[in-house]
Amino acid sequence: MKRFCKYPVAVLLAGLTVVPAFAGNEDRAGQAGATQLLINPWARSSGWMGANSSCAKGLESMYLNVAGTAFTRKTELLFSRTKWLGGTDIFINSFGFTQRVGSSGALGLGIMSMDFGDIQITTTEIPEGGIGYYSPQFINMGLSYAKGFSENIYGGINFKVISEAISDVAARGVALDAGIQYVTGPTDNIHFGIALKNVGPRMRYRGDGLAFRTPMPADPTGKTYTAENRSAEFELPSLLNVGGAYDFYFSKDSTTMKNHRVTAAANFTSNSFGKNQYQVGAEYGFKNYLMVRAGYLYEEGITSSEDRTTVFTGPSLGFSLELPFGEDKKSSFALDYSYRFTNPFDGTHSFGARINL
């Protein structure tokens, strides 16, 4: 183990160069549904642009790598509100909590809801609207369990329920996430992680909104009957995350060696229905009070306005302020913020508040 720890950066880079063998499938781009599963609703981890999948801890790791929820100390409550693609009036509200169970396990519950506002109802006869409004409801709910199997290995599983609905049409489905995190090094400063996400059966839209009245053929009385259109089934946007991270501590005094920390992280995402993505990020932390982070996402064509197939242009920024409280100062209240650059639209802002007990 000591020999391995002498060359952490080399091992991390070597591992990430092998990962591209899990190639995505660009030919299937656009064929998956329920793509809101690909949206990170949390303010802290989105500031990394998802690069921290191997070192994410607590409730936010339910999105990147569910194994990280096993690091919950006791109880964590988290609230987040995201202004999605500024100018679209779309907001994402998220809430969740994790609870320590036994000596090494943790249960988690996370809920994400998208608010599209009120949209005018239009028809082929009345394309201008003016006959009312409707509001789509997109909700993802996850129930997770994670456990530390040793001082180095942590694993978890997340069962998700997906719902997309308007008043008369809905699609509902289920999906499964699973992940493993490995921690090693002289101060537990080397992190590796792998996570499989959004694996589940196909979904389909059903409801009265797909039915219509039509005259019965060859019936002179003009009677009508109800016909129903069947929507096509669609796949879930499954993907694979593989990442690594390394914590650098800077201090001359060994008793305060964790006062200043810089974490470098990288992640590779293999998308089953799109381009492969590479994320890199870094975070500076002063004790547990202040954290500043930045990230960058790369995929083929992202630097060209003509070839880019994602609204994101790559960079992201974020910070966290954390205030300890309680007699032992181990509990804390934190505020998180992140900004993801986009083109078009005016970027994506995320605000979060968390309580660690």
CATH architecture of 2-356: Beta Barrel (2.40)
Domain boundaries, the chain: 2-356
Distance of CA 99 to the CA centre of its chain: 20
State which amino acid sits at residue 302. I
The pLDDT of residue 26 is 64
The pLDDT of residue 29 is 66
Give the residue carrying structure tokens 């209240």: 333
Q: Quickly list DSSP for 28-88.
A: GTT-B--GGGG----HHHHTTTTTTTTT--STTHHHH-GGGGGG--SEEEEEEEEEESTTS
The pLDDT of residue 22 is 44
The pLDDT of residue 255 is 55
- Sequential pLDDT tens for the chain (357 residues): 343 344 444 434 444 444 444 445 666 666 789 999 999 999 999 999 999 999 999 999 999 999 999 999 999 999 999 999 999 999 999 999 999 999 899 999 999 999 998 899 888 888 888 889 989 999 999 999 999 999 999 999 999 999 999 988 999 999 999 999 999 999 899 999 999 999 999 999 999 888 877 777 767 776 777 777 888 899 999 999 999 999 999 875 555 567 899 999 999 999 998 899 999 999 999 988 999 999 999 999 999 888 898 999 999 999 999 999 988 888 999 999 999 999 999 999 999 999 999
Give the residue carrying structure tokens 């779309």: 90
Sign of CA dihedral 100, 150, 247, 187: positive
pTM to 2 decimal places? 0.87
The pLDDT of residue 7 is 42
